[in-house]
Amino acid sequence: MDDRSGPLLIEWRYDTLPIPYECAVASMERRIAAIRAGTEPELVWLLEHPPLYTAGTSAREADLLDPHRLPVVKTGRGGQYTYHGPGQRIAYAMLDLDRHGQDVRCHVWRLEEWIIRTLARFGVAGERRDGRIGVWVAGDAGREDKIAAIGVRVRRWVTYHGVALNVDPDLDAFRGIVPCGVSPEITGHGVTSLAALGVKAAMAEVDAVLRATFDDVFGEALACKS
């Protein structure tokens, strides 16, 4: 489903069936070239992937703990290893930073802010942590769990890739990697989801909230605190 409504005139695409990762990357590559050329509008694409691990530009071989568990794909986004699979909402934001400010750190801050505001609608307090990109949830005894990972790539000031929000994925799949450097044994931090926090949310409901919170974060009125 596509939607080109909204004050920012950004196209929204919603997919209900899992999209193979390589197909999604190829589609993003074509779209960002079109955005740069001015032939297509900016796009926010909400989707899921079949189960796999992706290795970002900072991925370390030692962090792939079980290389035979799932397919592994190297990708040009920033970050380390992460897991993608059903129950995780991927939000690929293909935006022209010539329009939104040529500041990649600010863009990452806005992605985090977008997820924090989305989580707040579900009664979950998402938080930032210095030196750790993504969105975190504070737990008992000082433990902090990541609920959303962020990895971006920028080409000629058009950004793509984006956010992976854990709605109700198979959290056990994260055991095959050290996800984004997060390990309960090593760092004391883990991975969580809305479902693990007791929040039952359908994907369509999450999509509606992501759409509702986007414009206030990426609009001109919000000052970035990068």
Catalytic residue annotation: 180
Q: Which amino acid is at 183?
A: S
**Distance separating alpha carbons of residues 57 and 78, to the nearest angstrom:** 5
Strands (E), the chain: 2-3, 11-14, 43-47, 52-55, 72-74, 81-84, 88-96, 127-129, 132-138, 144-155, 158-166, 189-191
**CB-based contacts of 92, cutoff 8 Å, min separation 6:** 24, 28, 43, 44, 45, 46, 47, 160, 161, 162
- Whole-angstrom distance, CA of residue 57 vs CA of residue 74: 8
